[in-house]
Amino acid sequence: MRAVGATMAPTVIGSRSETTTTQPRTGGNRGNIENYKPRRKAVKVFLRIAMTAAAAVCLAPAAMAQKAAIGEWVKREPVKPDPSKVKVPPGYKVGLFKTGLDTPSSATVDKDGNLWVAISGVLLGSPEADKFEPPHVKIFDKDGKLLREVGKGTFTTVMNEIGYCAENGKTYIPEYGEKIWEMDNVNAQLKLIVKDLFIGDHRNGGITCKDGYIYFALGFPSNSGFADPDNHGWTDIPNDPFWVKHQDGHGTTPHDPVCRDIEHTGLNVRSADGRMTGALLPVGVAAKPGMIIKKQVPCGGSVMRVKMTDQAADGIYPHEKMEVYAMGFRNQAGVAFGPAGTKWANALAVTDNGANDLGHRRISNAPEKLFIITQQGQDAGFPDKEGFGFVTNKRFAWQAYRGNPVDRPLPQLYLGDKPYVPKGVPYKFQFHVDGVRGVPLIAANPNPNGYINPVLEWDTNNPIDGISWSVRNFGADNNLFGAVYGILDTGPESLVATWPLVLRIEFLEPTGVKWSNFAQNIEPGPNAYQKPENRGGLERPNKVVFSNDGRTMYVVDYGEVFTDFQMTPQFYTVPKSGVIWTITYEGR
């Protein structure tokens, strides 16, 4: 595609006959990973490619006109960032800190005001995949001068989050390859501190610290509870280092590690290759009603914590020294404690991405969520609960069951070795609303301590990723801000696009929240959705973070990822389209 405003002829750079599929590189002792194809729903990184979903993307007419033919990519150029195309409230000014970046995914600010920017490396695919810088961290001073690049050649998978800890002056760098690294300062060496985390679609996310502990998010490996080869590309990887270390008697291929003992309902899926796989079990291992799935530490869908002083002699934090702080999430990106000295000081905000609408245990309309964790041990309920309700609620099913076993809506689900057939009810309604809807449970033993609900739900498949609290000098003390990255391949799209945005969440007295769009484009949607005269705004914001004086918000914009499942590859990540925006409070 030609650049906006240019008159050059389009250049075709890909076609359906090509097989340019980009996969994260991997290293270490993960075993045979030839068929590993992670899917993620949004750059947490994003982290969520649903390979069987077909996206419904609203293409701008100009973009359609420039397509040479169905199946052929036309070269796309980065849209020139224009602060005037980003709307913010009165009293705030939008600026540019850095442009022309490849896939910036997160950022943090150290004690000297330096901005550390995680560069993810291309994850989702691009016909220009060879044009991208590899995963690493760029360190800029407060004036935008590049001080150092760290991790090129060391990081082997995409970068996701990054966090500075003021308590000990260290910067923590989660790598989406089952590792976490640390650096003592700008000039220090990388040190590996956590390893052998589990393989899956959703892995290590946000990271923070408080009162001598490191807190870090670990996603739930699968989409909705199954190591299902029809849904995931990692199910047959042998000898997952996590499961070699934490053998549970079921096998060492990847599967979901749980945070509490689960009594199984016996729910199984039969995949296309004929294998029967139980929820929370390795591929090909069937579940029986009443069997117990033992808890693991660390576990999936959790916020874990470990004491800073519990490093072993080799600098690694042993798994057995870790503890579960909160559980029942799916794919957490943002993790942030409230401002010190306020009522929110011990409140841990967590953003969580809902289930993709696919697979044999298909959970529909799963919301994006913001939780506030107030004490250790709280449970959000996934994979049996999404947001405010259990998945047995009718909102989470895509099709009603009216009593004919032939028409059961989830035909590859079984209870034990018997086909799963939903139970009907005595009432009979009009045909268009008759029957029952819902998704069956995995756990037969609800958490006796109960469950927490989110304080905010957001539009399905439009994740709120990186978050930060405003502390002072921003005209919004003790408010929480979050970056909404946007839809990828888990459509359909909403009638009015709910991305890209920076959300503002205000906490009301005595309870409740109020949200508003703090930063947004002139029209809903990214640049491809805009009229030509309105282009130049946000593409895919994935993190917000504040300067040390609190007056400036940095917005990490991953850049353009265009989706078209009539193409190969299905995603076009555009080189050099990433931006670090600034939004500064001018006090009016």
Domains, the chain, with CATH or none: 12-399+437-585 (2.120.10.30)
The closest alpha carbon to 490, from 54, 44, 47, 8, belongs to 54
Q: Is the pLDDT of residue 101 over 50?
A: yes
Rounded mean pLDDT of 8-29? 35
Rounded mean pLDDT of 280-295? 98
Which H or E run includes 207?
strand 204-210
Residue-wise pLDDT tens digits, 165-194 = 999 999 999 998 789 999 999 999 999 999
C-beta contacts of 183-186 below 8 A and 24+ residues apart: 183/150, 185/110, 186/110, 186/112, 186/114, 186/139, 186/147, 186/148
pLDDT class for 87, splitting at 50, 70, 90?
very high
Q: What is the DSSP string of 2-20?
A: PPTT--PPP-EEE-TT---
Residue with tokens 């090909």: 284
Q: What is the pLDDT of residue 156?
A: 87
Q: Is the pLDDT of residue 59 over 50?
A: no
pTM of the model: 0.89
pLDDT: is 367 or 56 the higher one? 367
Q: Is the pLDDT of residue 9 over 70?
A: no
What tokens does 223 get? 């989409």
Q: What is the pLDDT of residue 13?
A: 55
Q: What is the pLDDT of residue 4?
A: 27
C-beta contacts of 531-535 below 8 A and 24+ residues apart: 531/60, 532/4, 532/5, 532/62, 534/85, 535/4, 535/79, 535/82, 535/85
- Sequence-distant (≥ 6) Cβ neighbours of residue 345 within 8 angstroms: 337, 338, 339
Terminal-residue alpha carbon distance, the chain: 41
Q: What is the pLDDT of residue 405?
A: 84
Percent of the chain residues past pLDDT 70, beyond the cut? 88
Q: What is the pLDDT of residue 71?
A: 64
Amino acid at 194: V
Residue-wise pLDDT tens digits, 121-159 = 998 889 999 999 999 999 999 999 999 999 999 998 888
Using alpha carbons only, what angle is made at residue 356 by residues 288 and 44, rounded to the nearest 5 degrees? 115
Contact 355, 381 (CB under 8 A): no
Exposure string of 182-221, with b = 16+ CB inside 10 Å and e = fewer, is: bbeeeeeebeebbbbbbbbbbbbbbbbbeeebbbbbbbbb
Neighbours of 451 (CB within 10 A): 16
Q: Is 4 exposed, middle or buried (0-12, 13-18, 19+ CB in 10 A)?
A: middle
How far, in Å, CA of 300 to CA of 217, rounded?
A: 9
Rounded mean pLDDT of 483-508? 94
Q: Is the pLDDT of residue 476 over 80?
A: yes
How far, in Å, CA of 218 to CA of 306, rounded?
A: 13
Q: Is the pLDDT of residue 52 over 60?
A: no
Q: What is the pLDDT of residue 259?
A: 98
Residue-wise pLDDT tens digits, 380-407 = 999 999 999 999 999 999 889 998 888 8
Residue-wise pLDDT tens digits, 507-552 = 999 999 999 999 999 999 999 999 999 999 999 999 999 999 999 9
Residue-wise pLDDT tens digits, 322-341 = 999 999 999 999 999 999 99
